[in-house]
Amino acid sequence: MRESLVAAAFQLFVERGYEQTTVDDIVALAGVGRRSFFRYFPSKEDVVFPDHEGCLAEMTAFLRDSGPTHEPVERVCDAARLVLRMYAENPAFSVQRYRLTRKVPGLRTYELSVVWRYERALAEYLRGRFTGRPDGTLQADVIAAAVVAAHNNGLRSWLRSDGRSDATAEVDHALAHVQRAFGPDSATHGPAREPEAPDGGRDDDVVVVVSRRGAPLWRVVQEIETMLARDPD
């Protein structure tokens, strides 16, 4: 019932346009009554994003079930991957919705409020993990925003390829960027994720970096990353 309402709605949105389609049109095509529609969806907008509530609940549970050994930035990146999975499970639907959302300002606004709820869930988790750190809430908010922006950048690349590129690779690449900027190197949090240094170097090897004082910090970091062979790009 729920699926057939979504299917009928999207068929009409594509044929007639979103604004020109009423709930009555949708229930007529799906062959059900208005009350059935509103049992599943509070409004016409909700039928466009039928899985976000479930995904938000899943993300919240995933973060709640985190332990103190989970590296926080890695954990929120993994939480963001739950959203990607929802999109990637149904590429045709996701691509169709992407096109629709770009055309209808009301849907774009609705989507922003959903994205904001994901971002708040990530930020709340990080705030908890960063309790007692100087600037803990600031760091939490900035990292949550960066993770969401990176995830959405990767997701949109995939959607713009009409679902033909590798969604997981796109998002992994984007999230790795955030992890490099903010995450403690995963090497300190579990050997399973530690890339082998090219010379077989061990954790207690000493690395020396020499830099001009005037060099921009990002250049210095880039040099260090290269030396540590930790940049997978």
List residues binding a copy of itself (CB under 8 A).
Answer: 108-109, 112-113, 116, 134-135, 137-139, 141-142, 144-146, 148-150, 152-154, 173-174, 177-178, 180-185, 187-188, 197, 201-221, 224-225, 228, 230, 233
Write out the two tokens for 218. 């990002």
**With respect to a copy of itself, which residue has the nearer C-beta, 2 or 70?**
70
Q: Which residues contact 24 (CB under 8 A, 6 or more apart)?
A: 34
CB of 182 to a copy of itself, least distance (A): 7
Using a 10 angstrom Cβ sphere, with 0-12 exposed, 13-18 middle and 19 or more buried, the burial of residue 94 is buried
Closest separation in Å from C-beta 207 to a copy of itself: 5
Nearer to a copy of itself (CB atom), residue 14 or residue 138: 138
Indicate the residue among 94 and 152 with the shorter CB distance to a copy of itself: 152
Judge whether 45 and 107 are in contact, CB under 8 Å.
Answer: yes
State which residue, 20 or 226, has the beta carbon closest to a copy of itself. Answer: 226
Give the nearest distance from C-beta 161 to a copy of itself in angstroms.
14
> CA dist 145 to 76, 95, 142, 162, Å?
11, 24, 5, 26
Torsion of CA 213, 217, 218, 221, to 10 degrees: 80
Buried b (16+ CB within 10 A) or exposed e, 134-149: eeeeebbbebbebbbe
CA distance 183 to 44: 40
Closest distance between a copy of itself and the C-beta of residue 227, in Å? 9
User: Please, which residue, 85 or 180, has the CB nearer to a copy of itself?
Assistant: 180
We find the least distance from the C-beta atom of residue 76 to a copy of itself, in angstroms, to be 13
